Amino acid sequence: DAKTTQPTSMDCAEGRAANLPCNHSTISGNEYVYWYRQIHSQGPQYIIHGLKNNETNEMASLIITEDRKSSTLILPHATLRDTAVYYCIVRVAMNRDDKIIFGKGTRLHILP
């Protein structure tokens, strides 16, 4: 799987939009961009994924640049419960084993 680069940590004020960047300059055409988050002492939680079009669900929006070399996860109205480590991952579609290769992620602090 391709490598991703994320900032180590970010702060965001409660109620504001949290924008988490991810660089994946070596992404291949058949690789999806996935986002997971991990709240302290819990297992990772799936947030959203996309191939090349922007995606939105009840948790977040995913904006992928046209060249697919970077993406941004947007939490539109951050709450204190969104404080977590956010992992950006690229994975081959329908891979045989489908294991996830996690990096260190971005530690997001939502400030009251």
Residue labelled with tokens 């697919």 = 68
Neighbour tally for 9: CB within 10 Å: 11
Q: At closest approach, how far in Å is the CB of 80 from another protein? A: 20
Tokens of 11: 């702060």
Distance CA 38, CA 51 (A): 22
Task: Rule CB under 8 A: choose which of 29, 40, 43, 112 binds another protein.
Answer: 43
Q: At closest approach, how far in Å is the CB of 24 from another protein? A: 15
Count of residues that interact with another protein, criterion CB under 8 A:
21
Q: Is 49 in the site for another protein (CB under 8 A)?
A: yes
Could you give the C-alpha distances from 31 to 12, 51, 85, 103, 112, in angstroms and in order?
29, 7, 22, 16, 37
Restricted to residues 93-112, the positions that interact with another protein (CB under 8 A) are: 93-94, 97-105
Tokens of 53: 């079009």
x/- map, 18-37, another protein, by CB under 8 A: --------------x-----
Q: Is 46 in the site for another protein (CB under 8 A)?
A: yes
Residue 82 near residue 26 (C-beta atoms within 8 A): no
Binding site for another protein (CB under 8 A): 32, 41-46, 49, 85, 87, 93-94, 97-105
